[in-house]
Amino acid sequence: MSEIKWDEKFRDFLKRYYWDDILLLANEYPEMRSIVVDFPDLEQFDSDLAHELLEHPDDVIPYAEQALREIDIPIEKDLDDAHVQFINIPNRIGIRDLRSKHLLKFISIEGMIRKATEVRPKVTNAAFMCMRCENTSYEPQDGPKFVEPNECENESCGKKGPFKLLIDQSTFVDAQKLQVQESPENLKGGSQPQSLDVDAEDDLAGIVKPGDRLVINGILRSHQRTLREGKSTFYDLVLHANSLEYVDQEFDELDITPEDEETILDMSKDPNIYNNIIGSIAPSIYGYEDIKEALSLQLFSAVPKMLPDGSRVRGDIHILLVGDPGIAKSQLLRYMVKISPRGVFASGKSASSSGLTAAAVKDDLGDGRWTLEAGALVMADMGLASVDEMDKMSKEDKSALHEAMEQQTISVAKAGILATLKSRCALLGAANPKYGRFDKYEGLAEQINMPPALISRFDLIFILLDVPDRTKDSNIANHILKSHYAGELSEQRQKLPTSTVSEEDVESHMEVILPTIDNDLMRKYVAYARRKVFPIMEDEAREHIINYYLDLRRQGEGKDAPVPVTARQLEALVRLAEASARIRLSNVVTLDDAKRTTRISMACMRQVGVD
Ligand code: ADP
Ligand code: MG
């Protein structure tokens, strides 16, 4: 297809398909600067042109924009800097699957914004004055490096400068750099997320925040890396954004097919559903039935409530595990990330500059500009954040966590960056006691180095003591050893037909590590429940919970209980009871749900000393 026709084709196309948008743009320009073309429309209009756009966007897009400028509009206005954005691009490529063959192609990626720099002007066409002859010349600035004239273009001068940059005659555009990272729900088995840098310019700059989930469409470019010794042969990838699409927060979760739905509904009717769910939580970890039950409730969570006065009560359940080292706290945390539809694992002592919440930092991405970076609790928005070693987190994180846990937002105000990020996630924390072992007679807050106000924001706190007990110890030992050899034995049996390992041997070993419900199905089950089930409490259940709460208050009175009993606990009980109803996909919170809740709460309270 000859290039000459492209602008004509685009003119036809835009007039036919987007006339109303063009009129709107003309009216609102320059506040509005782009028209947004749905790629399938272009494909329908002219599939060759659509194909060319995907293959040679750098050649084709300028023609689209030229066409837009040349269309006769009924208003006196020139649309010099108007853009044509394209959305619903079929070339969706995973960040980790980007390869050199995608360079300079029009592609689409999906992910979560991890970092965003401040918006700053970037020069696109620099005006220079020759200091010898005062001739003005222009240097277009397309790449990442600033280009200066080699010599004066005035033939009678031709000197190599010096040149003076004329700011008022140069052209600038708003520019921002973003870093987008694979979303937690698209990571299998807790692998490390990969990321990609994105250039957002003009009307695309300054509209996204860290934690936003987006589809970004644009042209993939590369920049040569520079090393101290010179240029490298390796190139870094940058996506030059053409358009941004917000992903619907609720619906981009796992694909649940009609067959899945049937399976899920069947599972929910099994009278053993609670045991099946509990049996699918970290089966290689022995015991801890109470904790696993609580973790099940946390996975399903409750429904957030909007009160008539506009305030919001969170539905997410926060759980803290405190205890001696070596009792599988970290293992539990990692496992929960695997089966949560959106799980993020982090450590309180992590080296990342954003910490757990968010931070304004100066780093490479921003070339010295301030960059807002999202931490684990933002990346886990609408999911679960497992945070290990909470006792070792920074002062900044500790203070930001109050807001993050209750309001489920994180505010950052530093160096001209003012932002409120969303952190609507459940927090599963683990903390080691300061002196290695937990001391029953010392205060909890002091031992895990966390202020009581923060501790009180957890719905459930489990204190795990590693007290030697011959029967229990031998059970754990057997369980651990079996799980260690399970994989090996089954492999041996498969590889060596003559192996002496019997099928029964393999089964008895496998039993201890296989979840009742496999991880993928579990994630779907949880996602389905959270999407479809919004339980309401029955009177009997409400009475049971209120009576239990009143008893707690009475017992807590006068004692210097480590965790004061406040209305927070009441809210926690309601959340747990709703989650319990969700497990069997029921829209009614029954007395049984209420009883399950108070039983778990009692198990916790006994440990923290409200007897
Ligand atoms: P923590 O974070 O509490 O210090 P870890 O999660 O690192 O402990 O666990 C230490 C090791 O002990 C892990 O390999 C874990 O599997 C094992 N372990 C401890 N308790 C149990 C248990 N109850 N069942 C199975 N394994 C256990
Ligand atoms: Mg640990």
Ligand 1 centroid vs 332 CA: distance in angstroms?
8
* Structural element, H or E, at residue 437: none
Atom 14 (ligand 1) nearest CA:
328
Q: Using omega within 30 degrees of 0 as the cis cutoff, is the peptide bond preceding 162 cis?
A: yes
Task: Write the CA distances from 404 to 263, 389, 407, integer angstroms.
Answer: 36, 18, 6
Ligand 1 centroid vs 328 CA: distance in angstroms?
3
C-alpha span between 189 and 335 (Å, rounded): 9
Atom of ligand 1 nearest to the CA of 483: 25
pLDDT of res. 473: 84
pLDDT of res. 251: 44
C-alpha span between 152 and 159 (Å, rounded): 5
Cβ-based neighbour number of residue 129 at 10 Å: 18
Name the residue of 480, 481, 509, 511 to mutate for ligand 1: max ligand atoms within 8 A of Cβ.
480
Residues 551-567 have a mean pLDDT of 71
Ligand 1 centroid vs 433 CA: distance in angstroms?
16
Distance of CA 255 to the CA centre of its chain: 18
Residues 137-163 have a mean pLDDT of 81
CA angle 92, 114, 405 (to 5 degrees): 125
Residues 190-216 have a mean pLDDT of 89
pLDDT of 412 > 90? The answer is no
Pocket of ligand 1 (CB under 6 A): 285-287, 325-331, 476, 479-480
pLDDT of res. 118: 87
pLDDT of res. 611: 39
Atom 15 (ligand 1) nearest CA:
328
Cβ-based neighbour number of residue 182 at 10 Å: 21
Q: Which of 8, 104, 9 is nearest to 56 (CA)?
A: 104
Distance in Å from the first CA to the final CA of the chain: 82
Confidence of residue 281 (pLDDT cuts 50, 70, 90): very high
Prediction ipTM score: 0.98
Nearest ligand by distance to the CA of 322: 1
pLDDT of res. 610: 41
Confidence of residue 360 (pLDDT cuts 50, 70, 90): confident
Residue-wise pLDDT for 471-480, tens only, equals 888 888 888 8
pLDDT of res. 608: 56
Residue-wise pLDDT for 513-557, tens only, equals 788 888 889 989 999 999 999 999 999 999 999 999 998 888 766
Ligand 2 centroid vs 438 CA: distance in angstroms?
14
Atom of ligand 1 nearest to the CA of 323: 3
C-alpha span between 245 and 257 (Å, rounded): 24
Q: Which residues is 136 bridged to in the sheet?
A: 129
pLDDT of res. 563: 63
> For 60-69, 434-443, 445-454, which range has the lowest pLDDT when averaged over its residues?
434-443
pLDDT of 201 > 80? The answer is yes
pLDDT of 579 > 50? The answer is yes
